[in-house]
């Protein structure tokens, strides 16, 4: 949000996927005083997104007009969009949500056949869009995040919705493909 998207105060950002990555991005965007649109298919995740800083929430379940809805809310498109989930539809919708000279950041990973998507090159060229990938945060940036935490600008503990021990975590891993949880699940016991 800070380094790749270069999000500025009062810019509009659409964040697709309100899991741990997306919710963290919402917190940081709030700290930067941006207008935030959260998109997910889980109503509980969207509620948590609003609690931690999203101004608008879109339940994308069964909708085909998500990008158009983002454009309506943002009056013409957002300056920044982040695909925090990593699916073909969220990536395409994220790009389609941008206004002219907008910046798309692909954070969510896509695997195998799902990693090949048809992107709208004509729109990218005509609107001079920027497409960037982000794979983790560099270690030298941790200090800035810790400073945001110490000053109260972000509070990652608010994203934790469940804690489990290591044995429970092993049982949860196979369920991740059909994940109906929201927020972050933390392993708090390794015995």
- pLDDT tens digits, residue range 63-89? 999 999 999 999 999 999 999 998 899
pTM of the model: 0.85
CATH 3.40.50.800 fits 12-133, yes or no: no
- Cβ atoms of 38 and 49 closer than 8 Å: yes
- pLDDT tens digits, residue range 141-189? 788 888 888 998 888 888 888 888 898 888 887 776 666 677 778 889 8
- Cβ atoms of 76 and 103 closer than 8 Å: no
């Amino acid at each position: 949000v800070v380094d790749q998207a270069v999000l500025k105060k009062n810019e509009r950002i659409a964040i697709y996927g309100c899991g741990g990555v997306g919710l963290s991005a919402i917190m940081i965007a709030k700290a930067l005083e941006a207008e935030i649109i959260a998109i997910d298919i889980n109503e509980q995740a969207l509620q948590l997104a609003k609690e931690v800083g999203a101004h608008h929430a879109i339940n994308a379940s069964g909708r085909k007009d998500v990008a158009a809805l983002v454009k309506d809310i943002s009056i013409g498109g957002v300056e920044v969009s982040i695909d925090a989930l990593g699916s073909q539809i969220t990536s395409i919708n994220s790009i389609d949500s941008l206004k002219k000279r907008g910046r798309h950041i692909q954070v969510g990973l896509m695997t195998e056949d799902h990693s090949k998507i048809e992107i709208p090159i004509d729109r990218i060229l005509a609107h001079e869009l920027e497409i960037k990938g982000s794979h983790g945060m560099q270690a030298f940036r941790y200090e800035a995040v810790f400073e945001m935490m110490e000053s109260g600008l972000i509070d990652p503990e608010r994203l934790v919705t469940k804690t489990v021990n290591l044995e429970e975590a092993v049982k949860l891993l196979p369920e991740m493909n059909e994940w109906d949880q929201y927020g972050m699940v933390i392993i708090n016991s390794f015995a």
